[in-house]
Amino acid sequence: MPGRGSVPTHADPVPYDDPMSFYEPDPDVRVAKWLRAIWRGRGQVEPAAWRLYFVVMADGRPVGEQTLTGVNFSALGTVTTFSWLSADERGRGLGREMRAAILHLAFDGLGAKEAASDAFVDNHGSNAISQGLGYDPNGSAWATRQGQPALLNRWRLTRDNWERRRRNDIQLHNIEACHALLSLS
């Protein structure tokens, strides 16, 4: 969990769509908004819709967040990923590692058929990660960023494309508990 004041108020380029607590300038309000959103998401875990939150640690410090969302997963087999990484940790390959790990959970651990992601067109790091991990472009959409319209790239990763690039050095543990919680068994 980010500590007081550790979540930047902006990044270059500003990577998130509205509403997002990361834009809140007051660190106490920012962390409170972020925590409320996490608690809300954790309280809504059911077979029809779930969101799993993971803290990303580096050298014993929390430096980011990686989430995995499934809506009507049992019927569709699709997931969506979201990540946030501290601005001072970017450019070191950690974003790619985070995404590879969550995709391993989705495909190998949960049996996903497809994963989706999106990023603003000027979020070159996130778009490069999607492309490098085998996602195919899947159109575009508009969102708002701090109240202004901004174009998003949409990405789609099929199970077959993931299988061709899958990592063999990622291990999953106690996945059965996750299956039970998400009613996948």
What are the residue ranges spanned by the domains of the chain? 21-181
Closest CA relative to residue 67, chosen from 115, 26, 31:
115
pLDDT one-digit tens code per residue, 22-52: 656 777 777 777 777 777 777 777 878 999 9
At 19 the pLDDT is: 52
Strands (E), the chain: 49-58, 61-71, 78-85, 114-120, 136-145, 148-158
Averaged over successive runs of 10 residues, the pLDDT of the chain (185 residues) comes to 38 53 69 74 79 91 91 94 87 94 97 96 93 97 87 97 95 90 77
> Taking a C-beta distance cutoff of 8 angstroms, is the pair 159, 136 a contact?
no
pTM (2 decimals)?
A: 0.82
Topology of the domain comprising 21-181? Aminopeptidase (3.40.630)
DSSP 3-state of 77: coil
